Amino acid sequence: MPITSDSELRTLLEETRTIALVGASDRPDRPSYRVMRTLQEHGYRVIPVNPQITGEHLHGEFVFRDLSQIGDPIDLVDIFRNSAAAGDAVDEAIAAGAKAVWMQLGVVNEAAAARAEAAGLKVVMDRCPAIELPRLGVAKIA
């Protein structure tokens, strides 16, 4: 079952250090642009993933084509894709050895969530970490 309790959400956010943000945008009017900045300000390392802007830098981080390129351990994959496309991102997260997947507001893919859970990943759907951090009172990462 996807994580829904405040205590489990808080624990996940407190244990996370590195986030890969799939669907990162270099456009300031896009939610993923603002969420990436908010997560960085909270102390997380956020690695942007977007094949359309691969090789560029976003908020000081190199933009990767896909999760398999990153090479560093990933605690959480934050997915800014529509519900149908989220399945591919979840499969990449499983293959990359991520510990958790987080599907953004409005993104629900039960089949992908089941695959992630079967592979041992924690799953959050239809929520935004940038909203949950202040709501849950999660302290900045040192």
d(CA 97, CA 81): 20
Instruction: Render pLDDT for 24-74 as a digit per residue (tens, 0 to 9).
Output: 999 999 999 999 999 999 999 999 999 999 999 999 999 999 999 999 999
d(CA 51, CA 13): 26
**Whole-prediction pTM:** 0.97
pLDDT band with cut points at 50, 70 and 90 for residue 142: confident
Span 67-96, mean pLDDT? 97
Residue 36: the pLDDT is 98
d(CA 97, CA 116): 11
Span 105-134, mean pLDDT? 98
Residue 141: the pLDDT is 87
DSSP element (H, E) containing 93? helix 83-96
* Domains in the chain with CATH codes: 6-135 (3.40.50.720)
